[in-house]
Chains A and B, each alone.
Chain A
C-alpha cells in the first residue's frame, strides 16, 4: 500500500517565481490497484509520480510504502521496488547497447553489478520469451542496438525491461504520448496485460481520456495540486469518456484556457 500524507511541494522556494503545487496533499493507493491519472498541463500529475520516485524533493509530508516512510530515501534506492516507463522512449533503454545487453541489465536490477559476466547466455531464451509477448518480433533483434529501433519498439522494450524483475509498483508517465495511435494502442493493451499478469500496483498518467476510462480500476483527475475527481472501480465501470471530458472542460474554462 502506498500512502502520501500531507505532501507539500513548492517549486523555486524563496524566488519571485515561487509556486506552491501541493499543500497538504493526501492519497492512498491500495495494493494491486491500477490508478489512471488525468489532468491538464501543470496540474501536478507528473510531479506526483516524481515525488513518489524521489526524482524531485518535497518540502514536507510523508511517503509511506507498506507503512514505511521513504520520503528521505534516495531516488535510486526507491527503484528497488519501483519500475518506471517514461514518456520519451529514449529514456527507458540504452541506445548504444544491444537488446541482449539491455535485457541483461534489466534482469540484474537490484542485484550487485560485479565482475561476473554481464550477459548470461542461459537467460537468452527467457528474454526472447518475454519479448515475444509483445508480438513485435523484437525477440529476433537480440544483437541489434536499441538506437536502431523505432520509438514504439523501444517503448515496448522498456515496458518489458521495467517489469522483468519482481517489482511492487509500476509507474507509467504518459508512456504512450510519443507514439503513433496504432503503436500506442498496442503498448496500452500490453500494459494492461502485464499489470494484470504480474499483479502490479500501477499508476498511469495519461492525456488520453479513453485509456484512462478503459484501463485501470480507479480514476483520478488532478487540478492545481488537488484530486478533483476520484472514482473507484464500481463507479468507474459506468463512466464514459464524455463524463470526464465535461469535468475536464469546466476546469479548463476556470483556468481561462
Chain B
C-alpha cells in the first residue's frame, strides 16, 4: 500500500458525507439540552426569588409584641349591703397612707376629752392614748 493510496483513502473518509439525519439528531439534542438547562435555570430562579421574598417579608415585617398576661386586677371590695350608705356603691380601694413625722407626733399626743356637767364647778376629764 503506497502512501498515495493511503492518502486517497484518508481523503475519502474526509469527504464522506455525514448523514443529514445524524446532524438533525445532534441539533435536536442540543436544542433539547438548552431548553432543559433553561428550564432548570428558571426553576432555580423561581425558587431563589421565592426564598428571597419570604426572607425579606419575614425580616421587614414589624414583629408583634408578645402579650404577657397581666395579673388579674384586684376585685373591688364593696361595702356589704348592711353597711351600705345610701347612694352609689363605691369601690373601696386600699389606700396607702404615709404617716408623716408630724402626724406621728399628733398621734403620740394623749387624747383629752372634757365632759362638762351641769355643775360648772365639776368637769370630767378623760385622758387616753
Task: Judge: A and B partners, yes or no.
Answer: no
- Enumerate chain A interface residues (CB-CB to B < 8 A): none
- Enumerate chain B interface residues (CB-CB to A < 8 A): none
